[in-house]
């Protein structure tokens, strides 16, 4: 299959919308990461997403809408908590897990009776939904197991020959996937951290939001992942990444002590020179937004350099940084050294 890369302009939007209507798939930008879209009501179309990504069938997809009227049929009901969250954060990088409605293809939800819904703010994503009349299911547009793509070039690197079309809308703003919150249980629960923070969710809901177990630590043996995606070893780079938790001085001392291993560093902006080894800087220290925006590109840059030992500076674990830590600790296969 030829993969065409087309600017996400009016012509590109029309091409994408036509593919959706025909039951085909294509990649497009959202404000978080690039996604692979298919009509969420069409099971055969949704199957093509799993095939393109090599994704396990038991990992459900998020359904994307352009306005609230599209919820009807996609959810059985919009719980009260969803009605507080939607006006506060939509359109934007929040996915709300709700009871699944009859229109959602079973293939989207991996047999669950719930569905994740999100209203993206990216104009190209909205325009495609409006032009096609299709709510689309879309996972991140990477091959299963590699970092989510935040540029059209990164999508192409994974998806060449596997998709007919990639819409290029430039680099994504947020850089990590949407926050996923469930409102189907007794208490609201954060299943995946993202740009919308735990604190913001709690403020909008006026109550505590529980943190799913798998966010900051590895699932224990036998523990069930509430968000099926959390159980997979995501974002696995070729390099052996270890997160070093401590000050810059401690980090530098550790790197110096292990120079014989020829390590590289995933560091904060401005630290490259002082470290004196090959470095990829993933953002400013203490700036979760900046780190989130660049992390996946940096993980891919490390892959392009080949394998080897990588020491990573540790982001904070609250606010937007919780999302950065959550992705990085998976890329590091949960190897964290406290300095």
Q: Within the chain, what is the greatest distance between any pair of CA atoms?
A: 61
Residue with the two structure tokens 């990444």: 241
By CB under 6 A, residue 122 contacts ligand TXA? no
Each residue of 275-311: b (16+ CB within 10 Å) or e? bebebbbbbebebbbbbbbbbbbbbbebbeeeeeebb
Residue 192 interacting entry, from ligand TXA, Mg ion, none, C-beta within 5 to 8 Å by type: ligand TXA
Can you say how many angstroms the Cα of residue 113 is from the centroid of all Cα atoms in its chain? 22
Q: For ligand TXA, what does the binding mask look like between residues 177 and 216, x meaning CB under 6 A?
A: xx-x----------xx------------------------
Q: Which of 139, 147, 175, 288 binds ligand TXA (CB under 6 A)?
A: 139
Three-state secondary structure readout of 17-51: HHHHHCCCCEEECCCCCCEEEEECCCHHHHHHHHH
Q: Could you tell me which stretch among 81-89, 132-140, 240-248, 316-324 binds Mg ion (CB under 5 A)? A: 132-140
242 or 326, CB closer to ligand TXA? 326
Residue 309 Cβ vs ligand TXA, minimum distance, rounded to whole Å: 28
Q: Which of 105, 138, 181, 243 binds ligand TXA (CB under 6 A)?
A: 138
By CB under 6 A, residue 322 contacts ligand TXA? no
48 or 252, CB closer to ligand TXA? 48
Residue 56 Cβ vs ligand TXA, minimum distance, rounded to whole Å: 10
Residue 78 Cβ vs ligand TXA, minimum distance, rounded to whole Å: 15
By CB under 6 A, residue 35 contacts ligand TXA? yes
Three-state secondary structure readout of 178-227: CEEEECCCCCCEEEECCCCCHHHHHHHHCCCCEECCCCCCCCCCCCCCCC
State how far the Cα of 76 lies from the Cα of 182, in Å rounded to an integer.
15
Q: Are the beta carbons of 8 and 128 closer than 8 angstroms?
A: no
Return the DSSP state at 147.
Answer: P
Q: Which of 140, 227, 264, 291 binds Mg ion (CB under 5 A)?
A: 140
Chain positions contacting ligand TXA, by CB under 6 A: 30, 32-33, 35, 59-62, 93, 95, 97, 109, 112, 114-116, 118, 138-140, 177-178, 180, 191-192, 227-230
Chain positions contacting Mg ion, by CB under 5 A: 140
């Amino acid at each position: 299959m030829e993969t065409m890369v087309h600017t996400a302009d009016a012509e590109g939007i029309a091409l994408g919308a036509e593919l959706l209507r025909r039951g085909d798939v294509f990649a497009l930008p959202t404000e978080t990461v690039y996604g692979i879209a298919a009509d969420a009501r069409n099971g055969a179309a949704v199957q093509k997403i799993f095939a393109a990504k090599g994704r396990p069938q038991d990992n459900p997809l998020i359904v994307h809408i352009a306005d609230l009227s599209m919820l009807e049929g996609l959810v059985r009901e919009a719980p009260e908590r969803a009605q507080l969250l939607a006006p506060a954060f939509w359109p934007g990088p929040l996915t709300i897990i709700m009871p699944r409605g009859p229109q959602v293809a079973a293939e989207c939800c991996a047999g669950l009776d719930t569905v994740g819904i999100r209203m993206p703010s990216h104009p190209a994503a909205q325009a495609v939904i409006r032009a096609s009349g299709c709510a689309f299911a879309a996972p991140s547009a990477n091959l299963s197991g590699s970092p989510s793509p935040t540029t059209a070039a990164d999508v192409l690197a994974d998806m060449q020959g596997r998709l007919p079309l990639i819409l290029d809308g430039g680099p994504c703003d947020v850089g990590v996937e949407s926050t996923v919150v469930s409102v189907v249980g007794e208490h609201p629960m954060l299943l995946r951290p993202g740009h919308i923070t735990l604190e913001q969710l709690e403020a909008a809901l006026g109550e505590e939001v529980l943190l799913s177990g798998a966010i900051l630590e590895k699932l224990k043996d036998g523990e069930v992942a509430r968000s099926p995606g959390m159980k997979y070893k995501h974002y696995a780079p070729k390099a052996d990444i270890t997160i070093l938790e401590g000050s810059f001085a401690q980090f530098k001392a550790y790197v110096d002590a292990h120079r014989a291993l020829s390590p590289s560093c995933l560091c904060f902006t401005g630290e490259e020179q002082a470290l004196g080894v090959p470095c990829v800087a993933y953002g400013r220290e203490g700036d979760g937004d900046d780190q989130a925006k660049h992390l996946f590109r940096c993980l891919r840059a490390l892959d392009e350099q080949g394998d080897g030992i990588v020491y990573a500076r540790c982001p904070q674990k609250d606010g937007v940084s919780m999302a950065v830590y959550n992705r990085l600790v998976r890329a590091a296969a949960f190897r964290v050294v406290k300095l």
